[in-house]
């Protein structure tokens, strides 16, 4: 039986959640998110394997137009997604292009290399903010219609109950946005405090209630409050 949990979080927004242990010991879970766009087509944050059940669910939503890598460490499955959807635009952070062993993979956009005001084609429905001061060069995304923030390593909400719901492993790892430990991590991974303050404040100004993290349970309500708690030392 598959350990992948697939669900429609809200209309047109689907998550694909599965177990994943960082360094093989930290059960933080993994998650891909797909959005059925009003203009037609599908936007995918690709962070987990493209299993048969994942692909069949995504294919039912429409033609994949955008595949995004949300930071410099969530890139392993980008080649798999691009191979399955060769006509989709592939957009990631600049560091990924240097890390991939497959140098033939063509990117249609690279945060950190492209001009800051570059438009990739999904901005009418999904905003993005590149965190140049973050050690992993993360990008935050806002699906405006559903008021949902989607991100990878900017915010965690552990334990990863949903991601391990089909697993027999225990998940005692607690790490919530309001914890002092989370706030310490945010400060630790900030390579440029000024840039982090700028970008954390930008995201705090967005109108969202839900947060879909790559690691941990979805925050269904008070998402903006959770963000402000995690980044309170960077937001005026």
Q: 48 with 32: CB under 8 angstroms? A: yes
Domain assignment of residue 147, yes or no: yes
Domain assignment of residue 117, yes or no: yes
CATH number at residue 204: 3.60.15.10
How many domains, the chain?
1
Q: Which helix (H) or strand (E) holds 110?
A: strand 109-111
Domain assignment of residue 165, yes or no: yes
Residue 25's pLDDT is 65
Q: Could you write out the DSSP letters of every residue in 22-83?
A: ETTTEE--EEEEEEE-TTSSEEEE--S---HHHHHHHHHH--EEEEE--SSSS-TTHHHHHH
Residue 172's pLDDT is 67
Domain assignment of residue 235, yes or no: no
Residue 10's pLDDT is 98
Residue 176's pLDDT is 87
The secondary structure of residue 235, as a DSSP letter, is -
Per-residue tens of pLDDT for the chain, all 236 residues: 588 999 999 999 999 999 877 765 678 889 999 999 999 999 999 999 999 999 999 999 999 999 999 999 999 999 999 999 999 999 999 999 888 877 889 999 999 999 999 999 999 999 999 999 999 999 999 999 999 999 999 999 999 899 999 887 767 667 889 888 888 888 888 999 999 999 999 999 999 999 999 999 999 999 999 999 999 999 97
- Domain residues for the domain of 150 are 5-230
Q: 217 with 15: CB under 8 angstroms? A: no
Domain assignment of residue 36, yes or no: yes
Residue 108's pLDDT is 97
DSSP bridge pairs for 110: 92
Domain assignment of residue 236, yes or no: no
Residue 170's pLDDT is 64
Domain assignment of residue 181, yes or no: yes
Give every CB contact of residue 153 below 8 A, 6+ residues apart in sequence. 70, 71, 73, 74, 134, 136, 138, 189, 214, 215
Domain assignment of residue 205, yes or no: yes
Residue 102's pLDDT is 78
Q: Read off the pTM.
A: 0.95
Q: 10 Å Cβ neighbour count for 101?
A: 6
């Amino acid at each position: 039986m598959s350990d992948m949990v697939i669900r429609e979080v809200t209309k047109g927004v689907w998550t694909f959640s599965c177990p994943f242990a960082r360094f093989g010991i930290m059960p933080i879970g993994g998650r891909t998110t797909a959005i059925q766009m009003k203009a037609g087509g599908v936007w995918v944050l690709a962070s987990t394997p493209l299993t048969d059940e994942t692909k069949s669910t995504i294919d039912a939503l429409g033609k994949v137009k955008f595949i995004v890598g949300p930071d410099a460490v969530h890139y392993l499955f980008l080649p798999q997604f691009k191979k399955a959807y060769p006509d989709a635009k592939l957009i990631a952070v600049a560091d990924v292009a240097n890390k991939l062993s497959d140098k033939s993979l063509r990117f249609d956009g690279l945060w950190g290399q492209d001009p800051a005001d570059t438009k990739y084609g999904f901005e009418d429905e999904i905003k993005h903010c590149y965190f140049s001061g973050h050690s992993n060069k993360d990008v935050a995304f806002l699906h405006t219609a559903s008021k949902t923030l989607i991100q990878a390593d900017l915010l965690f909400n552990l334990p990863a109950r949903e991601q391990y719901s089909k697993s027999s492993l225990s998940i005692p790892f607690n790490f919530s946005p309001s914890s002092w430990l989370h706030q310490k991590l945010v400060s630790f991974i900030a390579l440029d405090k000024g840039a982090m303050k700028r970008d954390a404040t930008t995201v705090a100004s967005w109108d969202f209630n839900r947060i879909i993290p790559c690691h941990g349970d979805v925050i269904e309500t008070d998402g903006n409050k959770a963000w402000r708690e995690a980044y309170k030392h960077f937001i005026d």
